[in-house]
A and B are shown apart, each in its own frame.
Chain A
Amino acid sequence: MKLLPVVLVLFLLMALVACSSGPGDRLLQYNFKQGFNGLQFRLVENAPPQEVYPHADFTIIVELDNQAAYDVRDVWVRLLGFDEQYFLLYPPEQVVDDLAGRSLTAPGGDKRFVEFEGTSQELFPGAEEYVADYFIKVQYDSEMEFSDTLCVNPQLYAVYDAGCQVEEKRYNGQGAPLAITELEEVISSGTGVEFRLLLENKGRGKVKTATVGRARLGNDPLECEFSASGVDKRKQVFRAEEQEATVLCRKAFVGGQNSYTTTISVEFQYEYELVEQKELALVK
């Protein structure tokens, strides 16, 4: 009987602790650097309208929404393919201020609206309508950071090493459309370790170039380069139909090490491009 109040109080305390963690706390725990989201864009409804009449002004408004976990810079928005005989747009391209990535302070990401003013011209003699197909192209620079904890076992044939196990790993993105999706560890006994990272474009657009930035294995610098690049091994130019590359990171062993767990981190800078086709009708 005497214990009953104590138990009740303890139970209540536990309930309070369990139920009191609200969105803010969850947000504190949330890791934004996962998934493959990036910068997205769409046309604001009715800007432009579905149909435009001759000699009328109209506006094309592009909404940019950064859903990546990193800031985007040097953002260019271009409207391509208009025939000036039917639609005059000024200017046809614009540069936008940087958009911040998703974070604790901006969990929803950063948004911008880009406006293009246009004027329609006259239809071809006798024509009832003219449908203009055009492209919205958004180009930007951003970055991505990959990090993970893994096992390094310099002595492959050690029988009595009860340390960690080396294993091949797969990942679900680092909060950007360009992502490391696989990591393979190749150990040359007594010489060093080579990490093979598969860098893939998992977004809707195209990656133009990627550059390897700072890379570390624990506290030590790591030498990383692309397996099939040109003169500059740290920079890869991607072709439209081939949107993945392998990054090789090497580290030499300092003799007689046992297996150990450490962190690997590699930073990348990349240029990305998103293109969408739209149409605008000029009607009588």
Chain B
Amino acid sequence: MIVAEDDEKSAKKEETAEQEQAAEAEERAARSTTRQAQAMSGLFNRLMKSTPKATPQGGDRPLEFRQYSGLAIPLSLVIFGLLHWALKVFVYDGQPHTFLFISSFALFILAGFALAGSLERSRLSIALPMFIFMVWYSVYEGNIDPGFLAVFIPVAGAILFLPLLLTKGASAKPELIGLLPVLFFFLDLGLLPWLAEQFHWAVTGIIESLIVWTPWWAYFGVFTLPRKGWADVLKVIGVLYAVLLLVVPTTDFGHQSAQLPGFTELSAAQERVLQKIPKGENKAKSRFICLLEEPTNVEECFQKRQEDSLIKDICENDEQVDTGVLTFTECESRERERLQQEQIQVQGIEDAAIRQPTKAEFKVSDYFPQVTYRRADEDTTTTYPVDLKMDNPRELPLRLTFSCHFKKQGSDSTETNVSGTALPEQLTVNGKTTRTTLACTPDESLDGTYTLVYEALIIDGLQTHSRLKRAFIGEKTLSWKEEWIPKIRQAHFPGQEHLSKAPEEFAHINFAFGKTLEDPIIEQGSTLFLAATIENNFPNGKIISYDYELDLERLSSYVDNPACLRGSGTAPASDSSRAIYLPTCILTDLPPELGEDLGDELYLTKEFKATLSYQYAVKKEIRDVKVQVVQS
């Protein structure tokens, strides 16, 4: 009996233990399921939303947004952004370079991370629009064809809409914010210089500061730093820098529309504009020093410091000073006089009616021998070909000569040159389009890394015409002028039509005359002022010599200084990118047909032509041409 009771008890114990085990197993399974569900939910939340909420049941720690420490990435962006800017402005001198493009792209990716961390948003929400835009811009080259957009936009929309749907609209803001790095990417590549060229902004003041002295990625990094004491100080410094830099007069804006530019176009525009902007002291630094030294006279102090630094920079790099033709002091006097002349700004715009300008372009083919090898005991030389494409729509009889040489930078910053022989040496162009291959052979064996410089000198036949419109109203009553001058301005001189126009060729003349250079309405009895400048359009080229003629027809008899209408000269060798100021003159009267003969009712418009005949040198530099010597 006792044994049976014991057996029963042990059986019951076993049953209880089994039940307990089963219950435990169930509990474990339930906990595991809950954990898995929480993990999935947490993962989803991490991808789509901001910091997810803690799970309602206890046990597991709430998921935290740990991807970004909030400091490392933005700080890297600041430091590398500053380095990138310094390289761009001081080392590469504004010229486009593959390395700069790659570093800008890397900073672009970093900026996405920094932005996500700063705003505590998910990477995906911010990265999506960045990715879609870059695919459209780089893979599809910014295609705006309606047929293509009809497919691309719905697909892109669906991709962007999906997170919106899943997060119930919470990802809308991050997706929009994701376009900020795209904007900064374009700004760094050269969006502002491109806009300045397209809309003919006068590149002075605020525009110059934004183009030259603004480290865009560093700024982006500063404002994505987390809220810590020293990071806030950096932000304040950033704001102060912007205030000191940008407190300058604004410029007038142009009106033309433009198409979407590619990377190359942006970089080229940046290079061209940076070449034209004279280097001087950092404006923020000038302003800061003046605030300390002359707090009651900041503006005048600032202007003087800028002028002095500009002149110093020009004369330090002046060829005539280097060769001893001019002393430094003489150069300074010459530049001060030139700056005074530059107060007479003669502006011009591109002639939109001339859609095919004369131009020349060097193109490096894919088969260019960028890297070659030779044995040490051999004196073999490689021939380096490059294509020259010449557009000559007006079929001018052009004659060109070619030359080339190889530049090598030594370890002690000295430069050595190896001359080359270019073939053909000369070329005559008559047709509308000419393509030819130029070959450069070094005159001696090369060893190392060189920059190959091709130069095409157009020595004969090159001409560019400019035109300027004016309205002659004769002698009219005040009420006629009050009524008709606004009408004439609106009809004949909308936007910048009062400026002279020229095609975007190698160089051109800007000219203007009137009561003021900007006023296109010519009245009987006014004294008229005439001024003209020759401008070089391309930083990779230079004007060698020029002849100019301003055809004012019957007005030519009324100028006090005939030298302002025609003359010739050679361009200053020191700075080929600056304008050449031609003599000015005064017109004291008008011929009767442009004056009193117009009576009480009539007015007429007239276009005047200026012709620049010049010799021009076009240069092409091909960097990193390597010849490696192999020991036999």
Contact = CB atoms under 8 A, between A and B. Distances in A.
Nearest to A125: B465
B486 to A, nearest CB: 9
Contacts of A232: none
A85 interface: yes
B606 A85 contact: yes
B631 to A, nearest CB: 58
A78 interface: yes
B602 A78 contact: yes
Given A80-B602, A83-B605, A126-B393, A239 B479 contact: yes
Interface in A210-234: none
A86 to B, nearest CB: 8
B491 A125 contact: no
Interface string B154-165: 000000000000
Given A124-B467, A239-B479, A84 B604 contact: yes
A84 B394 CA distance: 24
B491 A277 contact: yes
Given A92-B602, A126-B394, A128-B354, A81 B491 contact: yes
Interface string A77-105: 01011111110000011000000000000
A275 interface: yes
A8 interface: no
A135 interface: yes
Contacts of B354: 124, 126-128
A130 interface: yes
A141 to B, nearest CB: 15
A126 B482 contact: no
Nearest to B467: A124
Contacts of B602: 78, 80, 92-93
B606 to A, nearest CB: 6
Contacts of A82: 604-605
Nearest to B480: A240
B351 A127 contact: yes
Interface residues of B, number: 28
B35 interface: no
A139 B600 CA distance: 13
B483 interface: yes
A125 B394 contact: yes
Interface in B512-526: none
B609 A126 contact: no
B503 A81 contact: no
A277 B471 CA distance: 16
Interface string A239-275: 1110000000000000000000000000000000001
A180 to B, nearest CB: 24
B20 interface: no
B247 to A, nearest CB: 40
B487 A84 contact: no
A51 interface: no
Most buried by B among A124, A135, A277: A124
Nearest to A208: B479
A200 interface: no
Contacts of A78: 601-602
A124 B469 CA distance: 12
A114 B353 CA distance: 32
A81 B603 contact: yes
Nearest to B505: A126
B468 to A, nearest CB: 11
Contacts of B605: 81-83
Nearest to B471: A81
Interface string B357-397: 10000000000000000000000000000000000011000
B488 interface: yes
Contacts of A127: 351, 353-354
A204 interface: no
Given A82-B605, A240-B479, A128 B353 contact: yes
B393 A135 contact: no
Interface in A109-130: 124-130
A74 interface: no
A202 interface: no
A133 interface: yes
7 nearest CB pairs, A to B: A240-B483, A127-B353, A133-B491, A126-B354, A83-B605, A127-B354, A125-B465
15 contacts: A78-B601, A80-B601, A80-B604, A81-B471, A81-B605, A83-B607, A93-B602, A124-B607, A126-B357, A127-B353, A133-B492, A137-B601, A139-B601, A239-B482, A277-B487
